[in-house]
Amino acid sequence: MKLEPPVEVSRDTLTFDVSEIEPILQAPPTDIKPFPPAMIELRDGSTMVVREANLEEAPQMLGYVEQIMKIEHDFYDIVGARIYAEILGWYRKRLKDPYTLIGLVDGTFVGFANGRLKSDKINISLHTMSLRRGLRIGAIMYYVKASYGFEILGNEEWWATYESYNGWKRWGIGMAQPSYPWPEYQHELGGARVYYITKKYWESTVKDYIKEYTGAELVRPVPEDLLEKNAEIKEVPSFDKI
């Protein structure tokens, strides 16, 4: 769109350096407390370490998630596509206040969980994915990021939604999560219903439910040798495991 200036100007053309534009396009970051690494024993006796993903690992993760986008069952395709966009948004700095957590067993990438802060009070859960079935890794990763929001970041509400039947049954119904009136409130994942947890409800009910379901406790600090074993993604599981 063009309009003639309402006053005489000395220069008809203004040139911007992209470094001047970037602060406008990139959401100013909030000072978010880092996620302290934790470990948890899985049902098969192995130990999973959960830590923040490093930005340098994003291309490797994108390559793996791209393959998940091609799986046409249990909504893996749409979940994979959205996770891909979220990782890329984090990598290209086009996502406000994201956090990306990964679960690893001896360097094998087995769990993923991410979200972002809408504000200091509201934590938006984006996606949780288990890359190895039968060990309740999805439940553990969901618990890990919720506890991160409530107990470390001090958030007051947790907003989630569900794309798959399994997720809705296990967490929406399983945790008896109430929902805000729709369509007045819409989750950013496709405008779906917002299911929420308050900090009070987390403390009184939900935290214990997830612990009972997973049957294990998060342990901190993580020994240095385990941190070293899981300092990088060395392997990804085959697709017949998910």
Buried b (16+ CB within 10 A) or exposed e, 170-191: bbbeebebebeeeeeeebebee
pLDDT band at 238 (very low <50, low <70, confident <90, very high): confident
The string of pLDDT tens digits covering residues 76-115 is: 999 999 999 999 999 999 999 999 999 999 999 999 999 9
Main-chain dihedrals φ then ψ at residue 61, nearest 5 degrees = -65, -40
* Structure-token pair, residue 183: 């369509």
Nearest C-alpha neighbor of 237 from the set 111, 73, 127, 126: 111
CB 47 within 8 A of CB 105: yes
Q: Is the pTM of this model over 0.75?
A: yes
Q: Which are the contacts of 75, defined by CB distance < 8 A and separation ≥ 6?
A: 163, 164
Angle ∠(188,194,200) on CA atoms, nearest 5: 125
- Across the chain, what does the average pLDDT equal? 93
Residue 129 and residue 107: Cα distance in Å, rounded?
A: 17
Domains of the chain: 36-241 (3.40.630.30)
Question: Which tokens is 241 given?
Answer: 């495991």
12-55 pLDDT, tens digit each: 998 999 999 999 898 788 889 999 999 999 999 999 999 999 99
